[in-house]
Amino acid sequence: MANEASNKLKFLLASKVIDSENDSFIIILMQSGFVFDKDLHHAYADVSAQELSTANGYTIKNKVLTGIVVTEDDLNDRCSLKWANATWVAAGGAIGPTCGAIIIDDTITEDGDVPADPVIGYIDFNGDQTQADGGSATISNIEVRIA
């Protein structure tokens, strides 16, 4: 899996808007064919039309991430935001296909250059993934790197 931080994340961190310890972060699954643009996808409103629909065990804008850890990596000259795994159980049909996941900060409200629910980053699954009915779809090692 490849991951990419949004440019809005960098701006919000430098502006002291994001509080990694106290903010609520949500992960959403994107429809097949979605292409992330770190320059233009600033907020949930910019990507919500391409989120998977509520069905079969997936609910839009609902999966809260937990266990955030912020790590400095001097060897690779970056910082990482990491969360615990996220899981959806397919019930009544398949979940997907999905090509990736977006992480948003669900705490922040609109204020000037700060959009409501800003996009933190994108996890590219390197191809469509579908979870069959009855199975569990898990994203492990959820991470956004800031270089």
Range of the domain at 68: 2-146
Entry pTM:
0.93
Residue 39 reports pLDDT greater than 70:
yes
Mean confidence (pLDDT) of the chain: 93
Token code pair at residue 137: 């779809």
Residue 1 reports pLDDT greater than 60:
no
Percent of the residues in the chain that have a pLDDT greater than 90, as a whole number: 78
Q: Which string of b and e fits 51-74 if b means at least 16 CB within 10 Å? A: bbeeebbbeeeebebeeeeeeeee
Token code pair at residue 142: 């959820």
Q: What is the mean pLDDT of residues 72-86?
A: 93
Residue 53 reports pLDDT greater than 70:
yes
Domains of the chain: total:
1
Q: So what's the pLDDT on residue 2? A: 66
